[in-house]
Structures are given as structure tokens and as C-alpha cells.
Structure 1
Amino acid sequence: MKKLFLYILIAFALSSCYKDKGNYDYVDVNVVNISGVDSLYTVDYGSVFTLRPDLSFTLDATKDTGSYTYLWVAAITNTGNTIDNDTLAYSHDLEARITLPSGQYTVIYRVTDKNTGISYSKRFLMAVVTSVYEGWVLLSEVNANSRLDMLSKGVNGYKPIYDVLGSIGAGLTLTGKPVDVKFARTTAAITGHTVYVSTTNGTSRLDGETFKFKSPLQTDVFSTLPTGFYADKVTQRSSATMYLHGNDNNMYYYMYTFNIYFGLPVNVMYGKSVPFKVSKYIGYVDNSAGSTEVHVLYNEDEKRFVRHIYSLPANCTDMPAGTRFSFTTGKDLRFMETTRFNSGDTYAILDSLHQKYYLARFNVAATIAQTYYEELLATDFTKAENIAIHPDLGYVFYNVGGKLYEYDISTKATKLMIDYGQKSVSFLKCDGFMGITTVAAKAYYNKLQVGVYDPSLPAESAGSFELYTVPPVNGNLVLSESYTGFGKIKTVTYRER
């Protein structure tokens, strides 16, 4: 062992005396500096984006552009989307027509010195937007046909685009009376964003980024739909989960995560084979986190609530026993909507022989808990045409012709909020957003949305869209925004971002 240690010591001593004869003469290399590029650019879809960066070189006084190669590449910053061709240019300057899907991209400009092979790069963000990138989408009736309009969000607010399908050349002409329009996310990816438009002549799917016609609804359904079918209501509680109610009185279910696609009707009680007639309204848990994934449907044949669970996708099952009322109501369902009020109460208005109406509330969460059941004593409610529930205050809004009422469920008092005279209210709604984290949702989820129709004006411009702030303690409505020039508004959705 001592000899081994001595040999190691000698070897170390000899190596420390070794003279390093390597060549350590340093040579300066040509460094490329890139300037004249901002951190963010907003580019209209289909436009030519021109960018001329400034290049300086530490060892190239001639600035010979032929001594370098250039590359411009774009990569989507959103998750869940891939781009087949993300190369924008191979030139010193960028001058390219941008046809990438709308969204935010990281663009890399790379300059490589041919002599050294060393590359230098500059990064920046590019937001690709379209005229239909974000905003309110309104489906109206004009001379017994349908027209799709949009309030497009821009840097200076919302700008109306009348007949948006015609203005962008969508490849679709709507015929028949308006029924429903709904922005939906079939998947979390941008490519899964879509807009369903329904008229009495059918349902079409639009590309969510361009609003171009994509396909008829039948393409999305794994069963043969009956002749003359259209979707009269699409409900989506969260991304990639949807319910679609058809004019055949059936409900169809979609859940991308578990590869469940629109197919056979799900309004079939477990153990039976014949579908029951189902209402178009859906109740659900407001917050998907920790939920039981329960959705509540209404069996119109047996006049009772039933539940549909993703783990039993082909059937419905009985509701639990109620603590305030029986889920087998024996009444017709006039209206149902899940709200953000009281941590997600579902409001259901029940019609007893068109003589009395009852308001039932229940919360769909870890369990289905009933929270309220009382007769609805609102003025002239038998004549109510459109209904909306305020998400923060729980008020019931409804209209009778041109009279807009607010019903306070706590005091059971009705207040006439607005009398439009000879005009009529064609549309009422609150919320409609999937979440309230986006800028638009924060600003508008608790606004009362009102469609007003003036029969004295030309049909193509007789409608207006109004947004009201709803004060507490039954305060008067405060008009916050108003837009005109629409047809008779039937329904509205928001193209979210």
C-alpha cells in the first residue's frame, strides 16, 4: 500500500511540472447585433406584416448581406396547438402575409454568419387577430330570415359588424328563422374553438378563429339525425363538455376527455330503452373543481328532475330525496339556469297549470342540496316572455312585451324597471361566460343583457343591444353600453378569449 501511494505521488509531481504547449491565442469573432425590433406586434390575419430590423457587425464594415443566412420562425405560445409550417421567411427583412390562426406567437429572428457558423437571434411576440377575434355575437331575425352580427372588440371598444358571415365571405348563407348561437370549446386547444349557429333550417358549425363555415352539425354526430333537425340549445359548463338539445326533444352529450361524442340521445332512464321527452334546460355544478360531474335534466313526460352522470353516459338516473320539495314535481318546467348566486344555485321555475308558478333552487356540488322553494308571486308572470337571473344578487328579470320587471326573491316584490312603450324586449340574459377570469367576463358577467326591438324602424336595423349595471337593494338599472343597427335579436353569445 505504501509503494502504491508513493507511485501516485510521483506521477502527480511529474504532471504538475508538465509544460502546456497548447495554442491559447484568442481571435475576435464577428458579433451580430440586432435592433429595431419591438417586444410585441399586433397583426391582422391575412395582412402583410413588414419588419425591417437594423443589423450591426463588430468585424464586418462592408455589411455584406450575402455573408449571412436569415430565418424567421413563429411558434404558438398557447398550449394544445401545433402548426405544420411555422417558417415565415428566409430573408433579411420580414415581409410575409400572415395566415396563421389567431393567437399569440413567439417569433424568432435568427442571423447566422456563414464564415463562423455562429448564430444570433432576437425574440418578440406577435398577436394575430381577426375582425372576429373576440366580441359579442348576435343572432337576429330580419324579414323572417336569420342574420348573424358581431360587436367586435378592438382597442377603442366594440365595433359592429353587420352580417358578419357575408362581410368575411364565410361561405354560409343563413335561411330560416333564428334559433340559437353558441360559442363553444370542443377541446381546450384553439383548434377546438367553434361557433354553432342554428336556424329553423338547420345547425351549422363555424370555425372559431375565422367564422368560416366548417361543417353541418351532422358531421359532429355519430348517429343519423332526423330530417329537419336543428339544435335549439347548446349548453357548455366547461371546456370539452357539451349538451345539445334538438328540436326532436332529445338531448345529446359530448365529453372529449372520455372520447364521448354526440351520438344517441342520453334522455333514457337507466334500465329502459325508450327516450323520454326532455326539456332543453340543463342544471350543473357552477365550479367544476371537486364536482361530481352531475348534470340535471328534466323529464317532461313524467314531470320530474333526473340526473345524468359522465360515468353512466348513455342513461339518466333518479334524483335523491328532496328536503324542501319533491324532485318529482308534477309540474311543467318553464325555465332553468345555473347561476353563480349562492355558490352556484340552479334556478328552476315550475308552471302549475299556467295559474301558479314556483321557484325551486338547488345546488349541484358534492351532493345535490335544495336551497329554496316558494311560490313565485311576480306581477303578470303568466305572460313572461324572456327570463334572466342575476348572478350576484339573485334577482329574477323578465319581460312582458316592452315592460321589463325585476323580482326580488327575498322580499317577493316586483319592480317595473323599464317601460319601453311600443318597443318590445326580444332577448334577456345575464352571464353566459364559462368563467369570470378573463377581462371581458369580469366586465360583463353581471351585466343585464337586453335586446330591444322597435317595430317602427326598418327590419334590418330595428334591434338594439343594451347592457345594464344592476344595483343592489332594487336600485334602478344603469345603462352602461348601447348598440344599434341589428335585427330583432333572438340570442347572443360571447366569443371568449
Structure 2
Amino acid sequence: MKHLFIYLLAFIVFTSCYKDKGNYDYHVINHWTVENFDSTKGYTVLLGDTLKINPTLKWSNDPNPSDANYNYAWSFRYRPSSNLPFIDTVIGTDKNLNAKINLLPGNYSLAYRVTDKSNGVTFQTRTNILVSSKNFEGYMVLNDVNGKSRLDMLAYSKGTGLFTQYTDVLKEMNSNLPEQGKPRQVLCMNYVGTNITPLNYGIFLLTETGTNRIHQETFAYEPTMNIRYLMVGNIANDFKADVLTGENPSPTTVMFYMYAKGNMYAYSTLYGYAFRNDPINVYAAASAPFKVSPYVVTDGTVGVMYNTDKRCFVQAANFNSSFVADVVAARNFPTGLDLVWMERSYNSTSRSVYAVLKDPVTAKYYLLRFPIAGAQTLFKEITAPDFAQATSYAVSPDVNYLFYSVGGKVYEYDFNLGTPTTTLMIDKGNSTITYMGFPHFYNSFVAANANTYKLWATYLTVGTYDPAGTPGANGTLECYSVPEISKPLVKTMGWTGLGKIVSVAYRER
């Protein structure tokens, strides 16, 4: 047995050392090098324009390459919506790309694949493509021009850091939205999540003619974009909103409150994707609505309104609330006053709510501050000069000053001091301040835009109208940074040639 084992071991060693005389055919891979192809910064192309990329290909084993020896494929990789899989769409099969781009504006991944026909080996590289448009993002300015609405746009380019002004952007984009009457408001924000539709962004135009959305990319209009198609029930054809207030705390969570004909209506993407037909300004389901102020604030869940009949604050406890309750006494809110103005400081750290109230007996004005679901943190009389003549109000989200306008003047009221101070900041002479506010950027949670939007949210935005000027060209929009210690405002941006500015919103990305 021992000898047998030795023989077997010797045989294994002998056969393992035997020279392999197999017929193996080795090939050197023809590696590539790509030049004139920016895989780091990518490319930007306007919707409808031609994207041209002319890469230089160098091959390790083919000094004089012929296109006939290779197959080429350029393809976009994207997903139609967040709940659908990615798809590849081939847009070119030549060495160089020369393709008209009709994809909706957004960021896309572009793959470039080259296959060596001699061995079937495929090489691939990728880059990012930003499909943009002249109306990609920017300030939307709703003007009154001779009693009609005109929407202008100050389009911003991230690439250049510059704005391009489009007077009557609906005409510029060949929009088919019918002519609209006197303007009320423009609002730009998501109205559903991308998990529902990639066309989830709402550019809402509120006018005396009606309340409509326009297509988020082309600005086209269809009758189904009327606000009635976001409501439940048998809605009258002439229904229109007076004020639309919204909050977008996450990419898929949206809350709206709509004030129309003296009532308030609620909408939440967490509860039905539509405005309920019954107004929310009631104390119990099916009870008669009370008279409610058009001012409402929300964090996407809680909503705070004002009962003008009882002169008290009321609250909708949740996104699915169908009625409200008076704010509890423990929160120490004032009662018996008239609400003049209310707004939430959406882009501040505290996100406090500020309200201006007036005593109907003494005619004194008061400033109230409170967290949206907590007790008030400030309630004091406003002692600013000419405050009774003020027409617009705004609170700085970072330095907490109250601004108010009277005619062509803007005042800064520092209520944080033991003895408040008032400083004249802007004096436009015979012109009138028709709009004033701090922009609300709803998508500041998007990392790519957060720093820019958060900075612009601190700019006091002022619309001025010169009644002696040419209608449609006598409006000015200016943005100011607000220093501390009541130092003079610093103008950061400005545009002329606008109309009588009624409302301003920012079309975000």
C-alpha cells in the first residue's frame, strides 16, 4: 500500500510538470483615451437647441482609426418619475454628437459608448447634461398694466450668475393662456411630489379673471390647469382664489390654504391631493363658517388663522383637519383686536410668526410674535411714526426688524430694543411702494441651491411705481441686504422697465 501511494504521488508530480502545448491565441486590448469630452463639469444646453460634442479618441493599438471599425452610441439615462425605473434613450450613433434636445429641463446623465468591432469590447464614459431654458429659473413679477395682468421674468443663469429680463414672458414663450384681468398674486412652488408626476411644480397666477397654473417648463396652458381641477366637488366655472398660501417642508409634502370669497380651503398631499369643497373656517364639521381673515400661516401641518367675527386666533391642528379651534388661553394670545397683517418668517432659524394688530377702540397698533404651535414670545405696542398710513409690512428673517412702507418711503422698526427705534431706509420721492417682502424659497432644502436661496431670502425686495411714467415701463424692483444695528440698506440687485408690481415669486430649481 505504501509503494502504491509513492507511485501515485510521483505520477501527479510528473503530470503537473508536463509542458502545456495547448493552442492559446492572446490579443492585446485596444485601449482608448478620450479628449475634448468634459466628464467633470458636464454640459448645458437649452431646451430645443442642438447639443454638440466632438470628442477626440486615441487608441493604443490603432494609430489611424477609422470610424468604420467602431460602433458608437450616445444615450441619456433618466427616470420618468421617482416611482419608475431608469431608462436609456439613444440620441446618437455617430462618433460626434449632434442632437436636438427635447427633454424637459433638468439634470441628466449622458453615456458615450464605443465598441471595437474587431473584438466586441465596449468602452464607456459619462458626463452630466443640464437641460435648461431661458425661463429655467428666476423672479416672476406680476404687474398691473392698465388694469390687466402682465407676467415678467428675471431669468437667472447659474452658469453666469446673471439675470436676463423678459418683459411679458408669456408672450415670449408663446403661451396660450388667455389675457387676464387685474392681478392678485403669483405663487411658485410644488403642488404634488415627484412620486406622483415629474410635472409637479406649480406656477399659479391669481387674477380677477381666474386662478390658473401654467406648464412648469413651456408656460403653456390647458383648461385642466384651472384651480377648479384641484378641488373636490361641483365647483362653479367662475370660481377664483383671492390669496394662495403654501408650504413645502419636504420634496413630497405640500400644504396649501386658499382664501376665496371670504372662506378658507385646505389642501394637503398627505390627505387627498385636492382642496376640500367645505371651508375649514368652521368650529365643527357642518357648522356655519365664520368670517376669516385672508392671512394664514402654516408649517405644512398646523395652520393658524384669524376669526374676524370673534377677533381671535384659531388653529387647524393637522393637515387633515376639517375644522378649527380657538387658540388655547395658555398660549397667551391677545383677543379683541383686528388683524392687519400676518406672515411666517419661513427662512429664519426660529421660523416665528409675526402679526400686526390694531385695537378698534384706541386705534393703537401692536406687534405679536409666536412659534406656530406655541405660546406668544412678544406682544408690544408699535410706536413707529406714520404707522397708521402703512400699506405693506415685512420682517427680516435674520436680523428681526419690522419694515413698513408709507407712500414712497420704507422704514425700519427695531422692536428688539427696550426703547424701539425707527429709521427711514428708502425714500423714492413721488413714486409709490406697491410691493415689499422677503422672498419665500420653498426648495431651500435642495443642497445645490440652498446657499444661494438662503442668501436671497434675506434680501428685502421692494417694488416701486412711478405714476408719471409710461404704463408698463414705470415699475422698478430692487433687492437690499439688511445690515445689523440699523445701518443703511445695501442694494444688491435691481431692474427697471417693469409694470406696477403687485406680486413677486421665485421660480426655483
Q: TM-score scaled to structure 2, two decimals? A: 0.87
Tell me the SS of whatever aligns to 2:199. helix
Tell me what 1:131 maps to. Answer: 134
Q: Within 5 Å, which residues of 2 pair with 1:417-432?
A: 417-432=425-440
- Judging changes above 3 Å, is the alpha-carbon distance between structure 1 residues 311 and 13 closer, same or farther for their aligned structure 2 residues? farther
1:350 partnered with 2:360: no
Structure 2 unaligned residues grouped into runs of 5+: none
Tell me what 1:283 maps to. Answer: 297
Q: Within 5 Å, which residues of 2 pair with 1:207-356?
A: 207-214=215-222, 215-238=225-248, 239=250, 240-264=253-277, 265-285=279-299, 293-310=301-318, 312-326=320-334, 329-339=335-345, 340=347, 343-353=350-360, 355-356=363-364
How big is the shift at 1:99? 1.2
Q: For 2:94 and 2:167, how far apart are their aligned partners in 1?
A: 40
**Please, which moves more after superposition, 482-491 or 168-177?**
168-177
Tell me what 1:408 maps to. Answer: 414
Q: Do 2:77 and 2:88's aligned partners in 1 also have CA atoms closer than 8 Å?
A: no
Q: Within 5 Å, which residues of 2 pair with 1:18-417?
A: 18=16, 23-39=23-39, 40-60=42-62, 63-76=65-78, 80=82, 86-154=89-157, 155-189=160-194, 191-214=199-222, 215-238=225-248, 239=250, 240-264=253-277, 265-285=279-299, 293-310=301-318, 312-326=320-334, 329-339=335-345, 340=347, 343-353=350-360, 355-364=363-372, 367-410=373-416, 411-417=419-425
Structure 1 unaligned residues grouped into runs of 5+: none
Q: For 1:252 and 1:87, how far apart are their aligned partners in 2?
A: 46
Aligned amino acid, residue 97 of structure 1: K
Q: Deviations over 1:9-29 (max 9, x none)?
A: 969984894456654442224
Q: For 2:432 and 2:46, how far apart are their aligned partners in 1?
A: 38
Q: Deviations over 1:23-52 (max 9, x none)?
A: 444222444443321231111111011122
Tell me the SS of whatever aligns to 1:141. strand
Q: Do 2:242 and 2:261's aligned partners in 1 also have CA atoms closer than 8 Å?
A: no
- Judging changes above 3 Å, is the alpha-carbon distance between structure 1 residues 36 and 341 closer, same or farther for their aligned structure 2 residues? closer
Q: Do 1:34 and 1:121's aligned partners in 2 also have CA atoms closer than 8 Å?
A: no
- Judging changes above 3 Å, is the alpha-carbon distance between structure 1 residues 70 and 257 closer, same or farther for their aligned structure 2 residues? farther
Q: For 1:230 and 1:312, how far apart are their aligned partners in 2?
A: 23
Tell me the SS of whatever aligns to 1:100. coil
Aligned amino acid, residue 403 of structure 2: F
Q: Do 2:74 and 2:112's aligned partners in 1 also have CA atoms closer than 8 Å?
A: yes
How big is the shift at 1:309? 3.2
How big is the shift at 1:362? 0.8
Q: For 2:494 and 2:359, how far apart are their aligned partners in 1?
A: 37
Q: For 1:211 and 1:11, how far apart are their aligned partners in 2?
A: 84
How big is the shift at 1:271? 4.1
- Judging changes above 3 Å, is the alpha-carbon distance between structure 1 residues 146 and 46 closer, same or farther for their aligned structure 2 residues? same
Aligned amino acid, residue 343 of structure 1: S
- Judging changes above 3 Å, is the alpha-carbon distance between structure 1 residues 454 and 84 closer, same or farther for their aligned structure 2 residues? farther
- Judging changes above 3 Å, is the alpha-carbon distance between structure 1 residues 493 and 383 closer, same or farther for their aligned structure 2 residues? same
**Please, which moves more after superposition, 225-234 or 486-495?**
225-234
Tell me the SS of whatever aligns to 2:242. strand
- Judging changes above 3 Å, is the alpha-carbon distance between structure 1 residues 493 and 16 closer, same or farther for their aligned structure 2 residues? farther
Q: For 1:78 and 1:85, how far apart are their aligned partners in 2?
A: 11
Q: For 2:175 and 2:14, how far apart are their aligned partners in 1?
A: 79
Q: Do 2:436 and 2:461's aligned partners in 1 also have CA atoms closer than 8 Å?
A: yes
Aligned amino acid, residue 26 of structure 2: Y
- Judging changes above 3 Å, is the alpha-carbon distance between structure 1 residues 464 and 33 closer, same or farther for their aligned structure 2 residues? same
Q: Deviations over 1:90-145 (max 9, x none)?
A: 22221111111111211001112334222111211111111111111100000110
Q: For 2:305 and 2:88, how far apart are their aligned partners in 1?
A: 45
Tell me what 1:448 maps to. Answer: 460
**Please, which moves more after superposition, 296-305 or 442-451?**
296-305
Q: For 2:21 and 2:291, how far apart are their aligned partners in 1?
A: 92
Aligned amino acid, residue 492 of structure 1: V
Tell me the SS of whatever aligns to 1:438. helix
1:457 partnered with 2:469: yes
- Judging changes above 3 Å, is the alpha-carbon distance between structure 1 residues 419 and 105 closer, same or farther for their aligned structure 2 residues? same
Q: What number of residue pairs does the alignment pair up? A: 483
Q: Do 1:229 and 1:246's aligned partners in 2 also have CA atoms closer than 8 Å?
A: no
Q: TM-score scaled to structure 1, two decimals? A: 0.89
How big is the shift at 1:59? 4.1
How big is the shift at 1:448? 0.8
Q: Do 1:401 and 1:424's aligned partners in 2 also have CA atoms closer than 8 Å?
A: yes
- Judging changes above 3 Å, is the alpha-carbon distance between structure 1 residues 84 and 23 closer, same or farther for their aligned structure 2 residues? closer
Identity %, equivalent residues: 34
Aligned amino acid, residue 55 of structure 1: L
Tell me the SS of whatever aligns to 2:310. coil
- Judging changes above 3 Å, is the alpha-carbon distance between structure 1 residues 59 and 304 closer, same or farther for their aligned structure 2 residues? same
Aligned amino acid, residue 398 of structure 1: Y
Q: For 1:184 and 1:129, how far apart are their aligned partners in 2?
A: 18
- Judging changes above 3 Å, is the alpha-carbon distance between structure 1 residues 81 and 135 closer, same or farther for their aligned structure 2 residues? farther
Q: For 1:387 and 1:311, how far apart are their aligned partners in 2?
A: 28
Q: For 1:21 and 1:368, how far apart are their aligned partners in 2?
A: 86
Q: For 2:318 and 2:332, how far apart are their aligned partners in 1?
A: 27
Tell me the SS of whatever aligns to 2:172. helix
Q: For 1:51 and 1:77, how far apart are their aligned partners in 2?
A: 23
Q: For 2:43 and 2:83, how far apart are their aligned partners in 1?
A: 21
1:495 partnered with 2:507: yes
